[in-house]
Structures are given as C-alpha cells and as structure tokens.
Structure 1
Amino acid sequence: MVPLPVRDGLNPTRLVLPHDDASVARWTRTLDYVLHRFPDDAARLHEKVAAGEVVDGRGRPVDARTAYEPRGFVFLYRDPPVEPEVPFEIRVLHRDRDLLVVDKPHFLATIPRGAYVARSVLVRLRRELDLPQLSPAHRLDRVTAGVLLLTLRREVRGAYQELFARREVRKTYEAVAPLDPALELPRTVRSRIVKRRGVMRAEEVDGEPNAESRVDVLETDAARGLARYRLEPHTGRTHQLRLHMSGLGVPIVHDNFYPDPYDVAHDDYARPLQLVSRSIDLTDPLSGRPRRFETDRALDVW
C-alpha cells in the first residue's frame, strides 16, 4: 500500500533507496539522498520534511535524523511543473459504478508524463470529478483522440486492465491518409516494432513480427487524393498504426513522426493527427455481458 493518498489528482512520487556498495557507503541519511535526487528542489524539500510530507514505506515521516535504509522506500509529493493549458474538453461517454469512458481530445496525454502532468486526462478527471481512485485501463497517445476506458475503483482495476493485456478487447480506429488506388485492401500488416528508451520514435526492424494491424478503406475522396481508413490493431505496440500506415505508403495526415519527423510547437493545436480511437468492444469481466463504447468524433480534414 502507498502510505500517501492521491492529492490534487496526483499520486505521490516513490523513490527506492539504492543498495549498491557505493550508495551504502556514501549515504548515511535518507534526506541527503532525496536532496541529491532533486537538487533543484532543495528549499521546497526542506519545507515538506518540516511539514511531515516526506515519509518512508511504512508511512513514518522522514527527517534529518532518519537513517539511510538500502532498498527502503520514500514517498513525497513533487510540485507539478508549470504547463501550457490544453484548451480542449474531455467528453464523458459513459459512467457507471466501475467504469468511466471518455472521448479523449487530441493533444491531451492519458497519464502524467514528462511535460504533461496536471494537463493529462487522469489528473484533470480526478480533480474535476473528485475521483481519487480513477485509473486508465489502457492508454492512447497524446496526439490520438477517441475512446478511452478508465476504472473508478481500485477493486476492479486489475480485471479490466487484464482484458487489454490479454488482447481480449476489440479496438477500432479511423484515420485519414492519402488515397493510393493501387493499394490492395483490406489487408493485415505484420512487422516487428521496437521502441528504444529515450528515443521518441519507434521503428520497424527485421525479425519475428510482434505487431499486427488490419487495414481497410471506408471512403475515398479522389478529388483531394484522400481516404478514410478503418484500422484494427490486434497488438498494442507504440505508434503501431502510424508506422503500419506509413509503411504502406499512406502516412496518416498531420503525422509529424512518420515517415519523416518535423517539429511542432507544444502549443500548436492547428493540425491534429488524423487518427481517432472510434470504438471499443469487450466482454465485461464482472458481468460477462458484451459492451461497446463509441465516439462520433469527426476527423477535421474529412
């Protein structure tokens, strides 16, 4: 159990005290190690220690006398960064005792990460709806819009997350991309996708396929050279649909990663990626009945 509750929509940060010989020899006080980890926050950390807001794994306050305990835990609240406002609303599609299903807008992160902490679906909804146990059952990329399923209670979280982990959820996306009359569809695309830590883009490499997507065309607009596609990912690799569409020679409109990356300012919302999570179908793990959640969100360029 985490000894500090969610506060203002944010989970506390957890530190694991290193147990290697160099760390054990260097640190005698827990506080010294915490200050070493966050040197720019020294003043605020001293304030939080004085207020009893830095605790160990058993919930006991950490102070200047607390001895360093290898493999021990420290929990504390970090001050969220100053973030740009993401000026789009989150539309609730469904709510019951266990689930909250929303239509996530483009440009809004699913969970706190990097420069987007308070400006994430999870933190915004925890705050706006007073739901401290809210947790996503799966994720959507920040630049992808559409159906996102979250659980309301800790007791049911695992059951729904496992559905996604076992690939027992049917996810259908739509995208707008160039029209290629020579492209034979429908087809199933299989490839090996690798996402390296610290690298923003994923890549397709040689080897046993670990990513599979079904691609079909829904409508064409020959005059503009565009088509609306239905995409069904059977696996969940990072940027899978974007890579597979690019690999077919029809990259999704406004994709600034594939095939060729280009910079987009964080506060530039003029050209959203033309990709939406249209629907989710599942067999409810608690009731056993089929359920479907869908958005009517339109893609801007269509």
Structure 2
Amino acid sequence: MLQHYYWDDQFLDEIYLKWKRQTQATMLEKYSTEQAKKKSAKAAKSRRSAPVGKKMHKHGADPHCFLNIEYKMMFDQGLDGSPSYPALARETHTVKDGSFLDERTEKIVLEVEQAVEEMLQDGSPLGDSQTDSTAASNAKRYLLNQEYIKRGKTEKGTVYGLDSVQYKNSSASVPIPVSLKRNLDVDMHMSGFETTISEVREDIAGVKKDFSALKTEINAFKTEVTWGMSASQATLNMILQTLQSQASTPASTAQPFQPQAQSQPQGQPQAPVQSQAQSTAPPPHLTTNNQSNLDRWCQELGM
C-alpha cells in the first residue's frame, strides 16, 4: 500500500485511533441509508438461500479472501503454480477432519477427481501424467481444472465454490467459465512450450558433450600418428646413414693370377699362354653379406 502521509512513531497510536473513528463514522453514514439497507438485506438473503433440493452454500474460509488462500496454499506447499480448483475447494469447504461443509462442493470435487483418475488410467491424450515430473503435474492440474469448470458451471454464469478466484484475469464481456477455460489453455500451452525449450537445451548440452569427447579423441589420434611418423622417420634415417656408411668403404680388388712360364725343350713348339681374366670383387653394398645385414637390421627395428 502506498503511503501518502508520514509522522513520528510517538503519534502512531493517536493517529490510528482517529482514523478508526473516522472510518466507522463514514461507514455508518453510508450504510444507514435506505438504499444500503435494502442491498444488505438482499445479500444476506442470497447467502442463506439454496437451490431447490439442495442446502445453503457454506465454506470455512470465514472473512478470508479465496485469492489469499490460494496464494498461501501455493507458498506453503511449494507449488510451481496455483493449486487446482478441486484442491482449493477442499481447502475452503472442509473442516479439520477433512469432512465437507457444503454438499454441492463435495459432489463436484469427488466427481472431478474420479473422472480425472479414470482418464489417467485409460491413457490421457496429454501423456503419462502419473510421473512426478513438472510437465506431468501441470497436465494433471489442467485436467482437474477443466473438469471442475465443466461440472461447477452455474446458471448465473459463474463457477461454484471458487468465489473471488474465478474473477482473476476475467473480462466483463466474456462469461466467467469461458474466461477461465481460455486462461487455462494459455497456461497449458505456455507450460508445454517451456518444457519443449528445456528438452532442446538438454539436447544441445548433450551434443556439446559428445563433440567435446570426439575432439579429445581426434587430438589423441593426431598425437599418436605424429609420434609414429616421427619414430618411423628416425628409423629410416638410421638405415640410410648405415647404408651410406657401408657404401663409402673402398672396394677390395683381387690380384690377377699370373702363372709362371715353364721352359720347353728345344725343338718343341711352345704352347701359347692363355692369361686368365682379371676378376674383380663386386662392391660391398651389393654383396650377399650386406644384403643379409640389412634384412637383420630391419627385423631388429620391427619393420
């Protein structure tokens, strides 16, 4: 409440007393007129009246507003939204032992709860509402409110047992049950939209996690390949250095065989001397021994 005037604390009691007297005087002046008396008598008669075959409407809220009771239920029970209409009707129309004060409210609440339980057992088009998830709770609350509006609608265009709650966010040009049903549909669509957004966010988080794991695996594979290539390159360099070292060694050439000439008796022709071809040993890097050394070196290196 916005405060327009301020005063010292020492004058608080005096100001409150004067305000109370002035308020009482104003109310007495207003409700002492004939018009106010007729209106009050008509309202009192309406409160004590009852439809044909039914008892007078009773509730246990006393002077408390149903809107305040609804908010208190939401706060005390830790609900994400407003309680269902059957839950509010139970809270405002029962005593401490749970028995109903009003027969009509009891009938509506029990019929609504039974109808919704049968829907959930047969499989509701809204999905599996018997789980403990937020979406399931909202779906069940939607069914309860929908059934209560349908069964609690009165001939005067109101919903029985909801009092001031039914006038919240209502329009004067639209009947109360229609306005409640429209607001209920909007809330349900928004709840489903929020659930979809939450699921999309979870999927994106899962994709990011998978991508991070894949990136880690790729980096590990690159490291392994790089290390393997470095090891192979070092091995090839060692082999090439060994081959170059062996190839630079001077080749050993065998001396040609020169047979000595034998003296021939005189009178006999001397046989021509045939010189054997000069044989030269092949280069060491092409010999069989060096080839076997290369094969043994490769085997030791695991190539």
TM-score, length-normalised on structure 2?
Answer: 0.21
Relative to its length, the structure with more helix (as a share) is 2
Structure number, greater radius of gyration: 2
TM-score, length-normalised on structure 1?
Answer: 0.21
Larger relative contact order (C-alpha < 8 A, sep ≥ 6)? 1
